[in-house]
Structure 1
Amino acid sequence: MTKPDENADSYSGLRRSLIGGIGGITLLFLAGVLAGYSVATLEHGGPTLKDAAVMVAIFGMILAVCLAGWKLWPETSGEPIAPSTKRARKWMYAIIGFSLVAGMGFAVIEAPDANALYSNAPIGPMVAMLALVFWLVITPALGWAWWRNVDELEASAYLESSAIAIHAYFMIVPALWLASRAGWIPAQDPMIVFLIVTVIWSVAWLYRKYF
């Protein structure tokens, strides 16, 4: 494979990752909004004409995001792909799909509280049990299946980005803890820290893999 071919493949891979990541987050957000709005509407006696128009508009945005992702998705180069790479991609798609379904399910169960995922309000025991099973059992199983099929370059990028993320966690958490104890900032929220570290991990992984 020539250098231009390698650059084209890297660009296509980065493009797929960005479309999948940004599109997936957008779809999750819109699905949560639609679910919360729908449940809140039903709790108030059913949808009015205005409510129906809002729900149709949100559903239209979901379709628009799906259509944009399909149109922008890069074509394959036609180069042969190793079976392990194909399996790794399938497991990654499974992880993304499972995450979207789990997130939408959580949004529906906790509706109409739009910020349920990031709040510290009490939740039902059944919701907590299902969430813990998904997070502690199914998610590691899918991740392990993906890890067993990645190539050396993918594994190297993943391990290096993991090291960067954990070092960022070591720096951020004590800094926020000390700043909050000094009264400079509110008490740290574990989900906010989780999101910050996840973003750092994702950016480091994309950079390490494609640049």
Structure 2
Amino acid sequence: MTDTSETLSGEARLKIRRNRFWTFCALGFAVAIVAGFVTGYAADLLVDGVLPGWSFFLMWGVALVSFTWFTWSYFRRVDELDLLDNLWASLIAFYFYFVAMPSWWLFHDLGLAPEVDHIAIYFATAVVMFAAYGLRKLGLR
């Protein structure tokens, strides 16, 4: 690199920082997709008896450690406003889950609803979280 006498403006530094952040997120997303496919393929191999059970635990542990590292690194990279929006969205999603799961369970026990569909609650919680995050980003607080 050559040394220049010019210093970058605040806008230029922000643009570089933001581009690095989005590159980091895109790489994390790509790694997560690959990990999901590998885990699914490994699960099929486990069911077919090709892989021993311990290897699946090992792969799952690596995936969890990677997810933990990405999350820790992500929260070190975001500014305090992004962190606040993330925390609010997570809290609202948790409240949704905290009410939806036992409510559905109760209604099922009373014979008023079908058996609890955990996948539906999982995806509904994700929708609530992303909606809350989006609304925060739009300034609807």
User: 1:196 and 2:115 equivalent?
Assistant: no
Which amino acid is 1:168 matched to?
F
The CA distance in 1 between the partners of 2:102 and 2:62, in whole Å, is 29
User: 1:126 and 2:55 equivalent?
Assistant: yes
The CA distance in 1 between the partners of 2:19 and 2:71, in whole Å, is 15
Which amino acid is 1:97 matched to?
A
1:79-158 matches, within 5 Å, as 80-82=12-14, 83-111=16-44, 124-135=53-64, 137-158=65-86
TM-score (norm 1): 0.49
Q: CA deviation at 1:167?
A: 0.9
1:193/1:81 CA distance change after superposition, 3 Å = farther
1:205/1:81 CA distance change after superposition, 3 Å = farther
Aligned length in residues = 122
Q: SS where residue 186 of structure 1 aligns?
A: coil
Q: CA deviation at 1:111?
A: 4.9
The CA distance in 1 between the partners of 2:118 and 2:61, in whole Å, is 16
Unpaired segments ≥5 residues, structure 1:
1-78, 113-123
Which amino acid is 2:56 matched to?
V
The CA distance in 2 between the partners of 1:177 and 1:198, in whole Å, is 19
User: 1:167 and 2:95 equivalent?
Assistant: yes
- Which stretch shifts more, 190-199 or 173-182? 190-199
Residues 33-53 of structure 1 deviation map (CA, whole Å, 9 limit, x = unaligned): xxxxxxxxxxxxxxxxxxxxx
C-alpha contact 2:108 2:114 (8 A) present in aligned 1: yes
1:209 to 129, 132, 137: 137
The CA distance in 2 between the partners of 1:111 and 1:129, in whole Å, is 16
1:21-60 matches, within 5 Å, as none
Which amino acid is 2:131 matched to?
V
Greater relative contact order structure (CA < 8 Å, 6+ sep)? 1
Which amino acid is 2:21 matched to?
A
The CA distance in 2 between the partners of 1:185 and 1:128, in whole Å, is 36
1:185/1:133 CA distance change after superposition, 3 Å = farther
